[in-house]
Every structure is written in structure tokens, then in C-alpha cells.
Amino acid sequence: MMYSWQHALFAQLAAQRATLPHALLLSGRRGIGKADFARHLARALLCEAPQPSGDACGTCPACGWFNSGNHPDYRAITLSDDDHDEEEGDEGPKKKAPTQIGINQIRALTGFMTTSTHRAGLRVVLIDPADALNTHAANALLKSLEEPLPGTLYLLVCHQPRRLPATVRSRCQHQPMPLPNPTEAREWLVAQGVTDPDLFLALCAGAPLEARVVAAEGSSARTVFMSALLRTDITLVGLSELATKIPMVQLVDWLQRFSYDLMEQKYLGQARFHIDLAKQQSALAAHLDAYDLLAWEKQLSEARRVVNHPLNPRLFVESLLAPWMTLRAAAGSY
């Protein structure tokens, strides 16, 4: 599958069908649909009767094999449990959850590479995410990239190209992947049934697939904002960005309840409103300066009176959040 913001790039690459390089490095931030695009491109390139648009026909034998996951000339390599490179000792402690692509996965391609392709067509290897190739795997892959076999295309999907060895990068044609514009991203999320698309997009820096995941995790707008508020690594700009997506009255309301909770936690050891955050609030409350917290509460009550007509909404939001940032910073890492 492919997304609306990728159509132009697809058309461009499909038009180069006959002259594509032997390795494409598809890079871009997480959650913008790179891997889906790579699979879509692979299927189109393997199709035996592509449409004039360059898209796969969907009905030829090649499309059938691809869709059922057993096209003989296609391999997808991704994070796997099966390969921990146990014979190699310099990758640090071994973890249970797959975080790497190991050398055995790359070695396993050898047989695939030496067999002739079906009807002498193209052979496609998808590596996703290439960031996860460990050193040995990257070196093994480099050998294949240095001596490319004719008719073989490597598609490397990568979140952070700088994490790839320069030697691998230099053997690929670098193709940055497009981000949707805010309207496209919002429309896509709405079509996916996400309410509050702007909030989730702000939280995920405009990456719609990531925003859908966060939204699907059941995070309500409030949970998302409140957890951001409790984070130590968030900046005033980042927090304000998020806050401006929330109706102003709602925002002040949440903040008032938050400050009230903190005060209650500090002196009574309980929370009344954001009870789902009680544990975090309680740990933090003990380290907050009571006098400053009270001053913030007062400021929020005053803000409540002008909330419907602030002169400059952005400045208004920042003025409400800045004292919290100071309070939070003064509490330090406890």
C-alpha cells in the first residue's frame, strides 16, 4: 500500500523502472509510511504486467505470489528473533527482543542471489529498518553492494541514515521520503477514525502513522497532554505547541486541576482529578516548592477569567506553562 503523499515519488521511480540503481536508500522519520512504500514499489517492479501508472496489476502470477508472501524473487529482511549473532561477541549484551538485523540474515541471501530469477526478471531485497543492521551484517551487505548482481535491487528503509556505515550509504542512491503536509496528514488520520488528529500529529511531529499508533493506544487528548506536562525532557516550545491544539478553556481547566492535585498530594497524599497520574504526581509533588505552586494556582484562576479572549493565544498559553516549567525544573530529577 502507498499513501497519498507518496504518489509523486512513486510515479518518478516507476518511470525509471529500466534504469533504477541497484540500491535505493529510502530515508525519513519514523511513522511516515516508508516500509509500506518500499513493499508497494517492490510489488510494482516485480509485476509482469504493470499498469500504465507503473502500479502492479494485482492479477498476474507475480502479483499473486507477492500478495501471498512467497514471490520467489523477493526477500524481506527485518528485525528477527532468530538471529542474535551468538558467535559474534562485540555487539554488547544479548537482548530478548529483536533490535538488530544480524549477519545470518544477510548470509541467508546467498542462495537466493545465486539462483536465477523467475523468467529472468528482477530480484528485490527489502531491508527494513536498515538502521538495525549490526556491524557484521552491514559488512556482509556491503560486499553485495560493492559487486552488484545485474537485475537485483536492494531497497533499504532507514529512519536515520547517519546510523548506517558511510561505506553502505555511499553504495546506495539516497532517496529522502516525503512527509505529508498537515492537511493531508489530518485527512488521512480522520479517515482512519482518529479524533483529535491535530493533537496527535503535534505529539508525533507530523508523522501520521506514528500518530495513528499513539491514538490507537487509547491515549485521550488529556492523557497525551498530561504525560507531556510531566516529562522532564519537554521544552516550553514543545509543550506550548501541544497546548495550542487544545481548546483554551479545557486547557486551563486541566492545568487548574493538575495544580490542585499536586497541592493535595503534597499535603494529603491523594489526588482528586487526574487520578490516572496519581503516582507520578505524588512522586513529583514532594519536591515542588509550595509557595511557587500556590502562585501558579492563583495565576491559573486569574487566567480562567480571560480565557475566552486572550489577546495573543500563543503567548497566553506560554505564560501559563512557563511557571510550571520553572517549578518542574526546580524540583530537579528526584
Q: Which residues bind Zn ion (CB under 5 A)?
A: 47, 56-57, 60, 63
In this complex, which beta carbon is closest to Zn ion, that of residue 67 or of residue 220? 67
Q: State in angstroms the smallest separation of the CB of 58 from Zn ion.
A: 6
Q: State in angstroms the smallest separation of the CB of 62 from Zn ion.
A: 5
Q: State in angstroms the smallest separation of the CB of 208 from Zn ion.
A: 28
In this complex, which beta carbon is closest to Zn ion, that of residue 63 or of residue 156? 63
Q: State in angstroms the smallest separation of the CB of 119 from Zn ion.
A: 13
Contact in structure between 229 and 324 (CB atoms under 8 Å): yes
Q: State in angstroms the smallest separation of the CB of 90 from Zn ion.
A: 44
Q: State in angstroms the smallest separation of the CB of 5 from Zn ion.
A: 24
Distance of CA 300 to the CA centre of its chain: 34
In this complex, which beta carbon is closest to Zn ion, that of residue 15 or of residue 286? 15
Q: State in angstroms the smallest separation of the CB of 156 from Zn ion.
A: 24
Residue where the block lists cell 530529577 = 333
Provide CB contacts within 8 A for 189, sequence distance 6+. 197, 200, 201, 208, 211, 212, 215
- Among 13, 56, 3, which Cα is nearest to 33's? 3
In this complex, which beta carbon is closest to Zn ion, that of residue 60 or of residue 331? 60
In this complex, which beta carbon is closest to Zn ion, that of residue 45 or of residue 101? 45
Adjacent-strand bridge partners of 176:
27
In this complex, which beta carbon is closest to Zn ion, that of residue 121 or of residue 310? 121
In this complex, which beta carbon is closest to Zn ion, that of residue 54 or of residue 129? 54
